Amino acid sequence: MKTGIALTLCLLSSLPLLAKNIHKQGFHVEVTKLVGNHMPGPAPKVEGEGGMGIGGSIGIGMPGRKPGFPLKQTPVLVFKGKLKPVQDPKAARQLDSFVKEVITDDAGNAQVGLEPGTYTLVAVIKDRCYLNGYDGQGNWISYELQEGKWRIISIRDTSEAAF
């Protein structure tokens, strides 16, 4: 009996690794939140010969920007193909293009293995579907997944940030 329990615990602890190995390709999703001022402004100057800008000065960095922080335990909905914006997550889960849902860990990360194709990944934040990227044709931005490739996708909640 102890062997069966140990084997079960071993298999359960290996599920994330097994899921990645089942699919040769997929997405690693990072969901973060930006807050505060992210407006570009005058950068500190470094003087030097042959530099860029007036008098050979080069702007370094943007002062006052606050880094994003991870959104823990955030649902990420995965859809096959392109997707027009949908606000209600319940309605989104009923769409024919809905594939699956994954939840971010405490670092704001999730992985989802998928077959090659075009996908749209959307975070659920404050009970609304959220993605701040558009393709210029009325759809949320989608990503092409190629055979044997894992892609990193960043979803940034900028609803409380100023640009």
| CATH code, 108 | 2.60.40.1120
Is residue 141 within 8 A of residue 134, CB to CB? The reply is yes
Residue 46 lies in a domain: yes
- How many structural domains compose the chain? 1
How much is the pTM?
Answer: 0.72
Residue 10 lies in a domain: no
Which stretches of the chain drop beneath a pLDDT of 50? 1-20, 50-62
pLDDT value for 46:
53
Residue 2 lies in a domain: no
Residue type (1 letter), 97: S
pLDDT value for 83:
97
pLDDT value for 42:
65
Residue 11 lies in a domain: no
pLDDT value for 51:
47
Residue 6 lies in a domain: no
In 3D, which of 130, 141, 136 has the Cα closest to residue 31?
130
Structure tokens at 33: 């939140």
pLDDT value for 15:
41
Q: What is the distance between the alpha carbons of residues 151 and 109, in angstroms, rounded to a whole number? A: 13
Q: Dihedral sign for Cα 136, 142, 146, 150, please.
A: positive
Q: What is the distance between the alpha carbons of residues 25 and 59, in angstroms, rounded to a whole number? A: 40
pLDDT value for 47:
55
pLDDT value for 1:
43
In 3D, which of 64, 65, 127, 121 has the Cα closest to residue 90?
127
Residue 33 lies in a domain: yes
Residue 100 lies in a domain: yes
Residue 95 lies in a domain: yes
Domain that holds residue 140: 21-162
Q: What is the distance between the alpha carbons of residues 119 and 97, in angstroms, rounded to a whole number? A: 9
Is residue 135 within 8 A of residue 142, CB to CB? The reply is yes
pLDDT value for 19:
47
pLDDT value for 23:
73
| Residue listed under structure tokens 């640009």 | 163
